[in-house]
Amino acid sequence: MTGSPELVDARAPRVGGGVREPRWGRVVVIGVGCCVVLIAAAMLVPYLTGWQTHAQSFPPLHARLQARVGPGTPAALLLGVLAVVFAPRATTWRWGRLLIAVFAFGVAWMVSLAAVDGVAGLGSVLESHGEYLQTARRVDDAFALLHGYIARIPLHSPGHWPTHLAGHPPGAVLFFVLLVRVGLGSALAAGLAVIVIAATTAVAVLVTLRRLGAEGVARRAAPFLAAGPAAIWMGVSADAVFAATAAWAACALAVAVTSPTRARMLWWGALAGVLFGWCVMFSYGLPLLGVLALAMLWRGRSWLPLVTVVVGGATVVLAFAAAGFAWWDALPVLQRRYWDGIASSRPGAYWTWADLAALSVSAGPWVGAGVAAASVETFGRRARAARAVGGAGSRARATAAILTLAVLTIILLADLSQMSRAEVERIWLPFVPWLLASIGLLPAHWRRVGIIVQVVFALAVQHLIWSQW
């Protein structure tokens, strides 16, 4: 445990006693209040008006109301209590112990929540027709898959792809082809593999923050990255694999921008580029991660790694093109398929703001407090005055806040694109951990309240709502 002032607490720095703390109670109430109002409005407006949103029976989620308990309920309740009890102590643990605890708890939390629906809850979603696993089992020739991929995207093409394959580049299904080839092709085995990979996401985000000088914020945010409602979707969704890949890409970039030598900067930048390139091959929306990458380069005060990041990413994309799948050719075909499907029936006047409500459910309402804190830290007068004086603490807080706002910018761009009408509780999973990291900017009292809210909210959502994802 270091004695750096950045690790002491999340209180705003004082400048010679003349800069007072923000009124955190007001910040929290405004942030959480916005999330709660969004969620309530997104649920009530369709119910009260009869507005047809085409998202099963419980908008803004692709879900239905179905109260239940199951085999995983006792473990989930126990883990929730442990999260509340031990969260305040996590800031004092050795760094390695903290990372192991976050990973182990994440695995246990996802397994217990999924097991509310029994063993089937650990893999049945991946087994459904629209997902990747059934197709992956039938793939004998990956190159043939790539060569014919674009032709099967259109809705009315012969043998058109199921929903998720049509809506994503082939990197997603190839991941499941790999699982099948290594003997993890059953629904249960694939589900457990996804959970283990998903649990590394929080570790990658914490390491990223530490490399960028924000270890204190990382420590304080750790419980919120491990325990929360996002685990409901992370544990059973391929998007959790995308989230983990994106987080490790950012982590490699953080190592690059903070490396002491040019050679290490370039090599780590190349690794980051390759991982970002795979993200592009996972999802058509993940090139927007470039906004996060630019924010990291700026805060790291080094633009040299950008060269190898671009080269690494381009290498992956061009390799897929050489093998038969050109991303730039597929995108317009995908857009036509998207609007030929149910998206054209989903009203943009509802989903443009209801998507943000679905995100608030997935991330948990306390994410609003974190985003509000990040906004105060970036634009607030007192925070600007503290940064003018300097110091490791104020710079670390500013870095964490800027990363959060960069990801918020990504989300708003994705929302305005209108290419994600509904289902963002899973589609936007790669962005959720970066928003949750901002909760580490809050003072201890509000974090203690927050972890209780997040855990209770997660348990309530899983036991009251059945999600298709």
pLDDT in tens, 331-343: 999 999 999 989 9
| Residue 6 domain-assigned (yes or no) | no
pTM: 0.94
pLDDT at 389: 57
pLDDT at 18: 46
Amino acid at 56: Q
| CA 300/CA 256 separation, integer angstroms | 9
| Residue 265 domain-assigned (yes or no) | yes
| CA 3/CA 330 separation, integer angstroms | 52
| Residue 9 domain-assigned (yes or no) | no
Angle at alpha carbon of residue 243, lines to 369 and 312, rounded to 5°: 125
| Residue 453 domain-assigned (yes or no) | yes
Angstrom distances, CA of residue 47 to CA of 43, 58, 286, 360, 421: 7, 9, 33, 19, 18
| Residue 288 domain-assigned (yes or no) | yes
| CA 18/CA 14 separation, integer angstroms | 7
**Residue 93: exposed, middle, or buried by beta-carbon count in 10 A (0-12, 13-18, 19+)?**
middle
Mode of pairing for the β-strands spanning 465-467 and 63-65: antiparallel
Angstrom distances, CA of residue 305 to CA of 5, 259, 281, 296, 308: 29, 10, 21, 11, 6
| Residue 17 domain-assigned (yes or no) | no
Neighbours of 175 (CB within 10 A): 22
pLDDT tens-digit readout, 259-302: 999 999 999 999 999 999 999 999 999 999 999 999 999 999 89
Q: Are 289 and 430 in contact (CB under 8 A)?
A: yes
Q: Which candidate, 305, 392, 365, 405, places its Cα nearest to that of 13?
A: 392
Instruction: Give the alpha-carbon dihedral of 164, 168, 172, 173, to 10 degrees.
Output: 60
Return the percentage of the chain with pLDDT > 90, whole number: 86
| CA 2/CA 194 separation, integer angstroms | 34
Higher pLDDT, 10 or 299: 299
Quote the longest CA-to-CA distance of the chain: 71
Half-sphere exposure of 252 (CA within 13 A, CB side): 24
**Rg of the chain (C-alpha set):** 22
Q: Are 103 and 199 in contact (CB under 8 A)?
A: yes
pLDDT tens-digit readout, 87-133: 999 889 999 999 999 999 999 999 999 999 999 999 888 998 889 99
| CA 395/CA 121 separation, integer angstroms | 43
Q: How many domains does the chain have?
A: 1
| Residue 10 domain-assigned (yes or no) | no
**Sheet strands (E) in 39-92:** 63-65
Domain extent at residue 59: 22-339+347-467
pLDDT tens-digit readout, 384-423: 666 655 566 788 999 999 999 999 999 999 999 999 899 9
| Residue 11 domain-assigned (yes or no) | no
What is the mean predicted confidence (pLDDT) over 199-227? Answer: 98
| CA 404/CA 377 separation, integer angstroms | 11
